[in-house]
A and B are shown apart, each in its own frame.
Chain A
Amino acid sequence: MYLYIVAGLALLISLVVSRQKTVRALKIAARRFLKILPAFLLMIILVSIALYLVPDEVISRYLGSDNKFTAMALASLLGSVTFGPGFIAFPLAGILVQKGVAYMVIAAFTTTLMMVGVLTAPIEKAYFGWKVTVIRNVVSFFIALAVAVIIGLSFGEVFS
C-alpha cells in the first residue's frame, strides 16, 4: 500500500514542521470525507447490486458475440454501467482475449469501464453538478468508442 507510506510520511513531515497546521489538515480531511460519505455509500450500494446483476459470466457471454460491432456496442454499454477495479477487469480481459474475443471489444469494455461511470455519478454530481456529469460521461463514452475502433484497425480486426 504505497498510498499509506506516502500519506504517513507526509503526515510525519507536516507534524514536525507545524503541529497546528497538521491538526487543521486532519480536520479538513475529516470534514470533506464526512461530507461526501453519503455519495460514496450510494455508489457502494449501486455497485453491490450491479455486480450481482452483471456477473463475469454475463460479460463473457455478451463480449463473445459473433458480430464484432454488436459485441463492441454491448461491451461499451456494459463497461459504462458496471464498475470494476482494474485488478479484476484486466485478468478477465486477458482470459477473453485467449478465448478469441476481439481486441476492439476488449478496448470498448475496459475504456468505458475506466472513463464512464454511471455508478460513480452520485459522487461526480455531488462535486460538479448533473450537467457536467452528463456531458463528461457522454464525451468519455465516445472517446472510448474511438479508442476501440482504432485498436480494431491496428490489430487488423475491422476489415476482416
Chain B
Amino acid sequence: MKRNTILKVLLFASYFIFLLVAWLLDFNPGQQIGHNFGSFLVDMLKILPGAFILIGLFEVWVKRETVERHLGEGSGVKGYLWVILLSGTTVGGLYLAFPVAYALYSKGARLSVIFTYLGAAAICRIPMAIFEASFLGIKFTAIRWLVSLPLVILTSILLGNYLTRRGYTVEAGK
C-alpha cells in the first residue's frame, strides 16, 4: 500500500473510533458530529447512485464525436452556451459537478468549457436559483447571475488556455 492510502485508512479508523467512544461515553460534541455524519451520509446516498448511473449511461451511449463537436476545441462560443444550460440541471452541489465534468472531459470537451461547467454548476442550478429568489428576491438572484456568469466564463477561458499551453491533462484517481 502507498503511504497516502495508509494515512487515509488511519484517519478514517480514528474518526470512527472517536465516534464510537463518544457514543459509549455520552460525549456530546462527538455525538453531534456523529449525527451530522449520519444525516449528511444519507443525503449523499440519496443522490449519488442516481447520478453515477446517469454518468455510466452517458459514457456508453453518447458518442465522443458528439461531445467533441459541441464542447470540444472547435465548438466556439456555443460550447459555453451548451455547458451552461447543462449546468442548470445539475443536482446536489459542486461535489457532483466534478465527476460530471470529468466524464465530459474524457469524452473530448475542452478545458475552458469544463471549468465553465464547474463554475456555472455552482451558481446557476435552476432549482437552487428558484429557491434563492424566493428567499432573497429576484433582483438579488438576477444581479448575482449577471455578474458571476461572465466572470466565470472569462476566468475559465484564461485558466483553460493557460493549462492547455502547459500541456496539462486531467488524470482522475491520482
Interface residues of A (CB under 8 A from B): 1-4, 6-7, 10-11, 14, 21-22, 24-30, 32-33, 35-36, 38, 40-45, 47-49, 51-52, 83, 85-87, 90-91, 93-94, 97, 103, 106-107, 110-111, 114-115, 117, 120, 123-124, 126-129, 132, 135-136, 139-140, 143-144, 146-147, 150-151, 154-155
Q: Is the interface of A mostly helix, strand, loop or mixed?
A: helix
| 16 A-B contact pairs sorted by A residue (CB < 8 Å) | A14-B60, A21-B61, A24-B56, A24-B60, A27-B56, A29-B56, A35-B172, A48-B33, A90-B136, A111-B148, A115-B123, A126-B173, A129-B174, A132-B168, A146-B151, A147-B144
Query: Among the listed stretches B46-54, B64-72, B78-86, which one makes contact with chain A, having 4 or more residues with CB under 8 Å of it?
Result: B46-54
A44 & B56 in contact (Cβ 8 Å cutoff) = no
Q: Is the CB of A21 within 8 A of B60?
A: yes
Chain B residues near A (Cβ < 8 Å): 8, 11-12, 15, 29, 32-34, 36-37, 40-41, 43-44, 46-57, 59-61, 91, 93-95, 98-99, 101-102, 115, 118-119, 122-123, 125, 128, 131-132, 134-136, 139-140, 143-144, 147-148, 151-152, 155, 159, 163, 168, 170-174
**Residues of chain B lying within 8 A (CB to CB) of residue A40:** 44, 48, 95
Nearest CB on B from A156, distance (A)? 12
